[in-house]
Amino acid sequence: MASKKQVKFKILFKQNINIFLMVVLWFVVNYSILLFEHGGDAGTAAQLAFFIYEGTSHYDQFYYRYGDYVMFGLVLGMVNLELFRKYNPRKTCEILARRMENHAVVFGYEALGRRIQAFLEKSKVPWVVVSVNEKDVAELIANEDPVIINAESENDLIAKANIAKARYVFLSDSNNFYNLNILIEARKVNPSCTIVARVLDDHLVGIYESYGCHAIATSGLAARNVFEEHVNAGIKAMHFIGFNGFTKAFIDMALAKGIECHCLEKDKSDILDFEGYYSSKNEAQRKLLSLAKGDYFDRDVLKDGGVLNAQIIVITEDIKDDLIHVAKLLRDINPSAQIIVRCFNDDIAKIFETLGCITISTSRYELEDEIKPLLTIKR
């Protein structure tokens, strides 16, 4: 496979062919004139053309004095400017990606995608990253690593990432529809490669598995690990900020242990989802389960919803920067509670730790418990 330098040189040459031809033409024309001036003496004409020594004729003097200025001062200066102006590192990234073989392709470069790519790099497995967001992979592009961005269609992505010759495909994008499209197209060109997908909706697991894909039901996996690590026999009451798949999986285990579970949700669709979930439980479980409706930042709503009596508070909602404000408010209302934050950004985990929170990363559990065991990588 061609190196980065070879690929980069080919791109530069192709993009700037006219400039290179102009440089060649400059030397050819002047060499021809000098050859004529010196009666067909090719050696002398060549030495004069390349400024090895200064000739005695008028044209020799003119060329020696002004040729280097024109050539190196203007022409090569313009060549240098054009090279930097026209060179696009994304081209190098895409060419390197297309030429990969027996490699791993990572779709999505968020928390899980970054962990997978770092693991592959450490394990010396060749990789390609595919992202719909150029900002996410800006550092990889600057380093001229094999990256693909914003291909026009799934088929285009499949070809650009050379999935037909890939060893592994990881679907870690947060868009289930996008991941399914990639899975279907990937299986058409490569029936035997290992495909692993993070599935945000547990109901879709069966669809992924029907295409020979190892589907990771992230909600159940993360909830099980967190529950086993942090919920002991002395816990009697818990409170959840946000109701989603992760919350459901966590509550299922808590109810089985006889633990009271109180939720706070403001989104109408999630509230309807809770009502359906609540109706599916038996009478004994319903007595342990309740929902408060309102804003996460309303102190009174938090108090009335069960935060004061909770021994463990779990923030499952992805509310970006506001998550820190909610954590501070919860700590103020209930100083003794154990606050667990489902952190979607590894970079801000340390901030929550200063507030006495326990941060959990679902991507870490997914990589360690589900993905690594599937890889036949010699380390």
Domain 90-211, second-level architecture = 3-Layer(aba) Sandwich (3.40)
Could you tell me the residue ranges of all domains in the chain? Answer: 4-87, 90-211, 221-361
Parallel, antiparallel, or unpaired: how do β-strands 194-199 and 213-217 relate? parallel
CATH of 221-361, one of 1.10.3720.10, 3.30.1520.10, 3.40.47.10, 3.40.50.720: 3.40.50.720
| CA angle (28 as vertex; 23, 31 as ends), nearest 5 | 125
What are the pLDDT digits (tens) for 12-28? 566 566 667 777 787 78
Q: What is the pLDDT of residue 370?
A: 62
Quick one: pLDDT band at residue 379, thresholds 50, 70, 90?
A: very low
Q: Please check whether the two domains, 90-211 and 221-361, share a CATH topology.
A: yes
CA dist 141 → 86, 138, 149, 153 (Å): 16, 5, 10, 21
DSSP state of 237: E
What are the pLDDT digits (tens) for 114-158? 889 999 999 899 999 999 888 889 999 888 899 998 765 666 889
Q: Is-contact 198 172, C-beta < 8 A?
A: yes
- Sign of the alpha-carbon torsion through 12, 16, 17, 22: negative
Minimal CA–CA distance to 255: which of 287, 291, 293? Answer: 287
What are the pLDDT digits (tens) for 318-370? 655 577 888 889 999 999 999 998 876 666 777 888 888 888 766 666 666 66
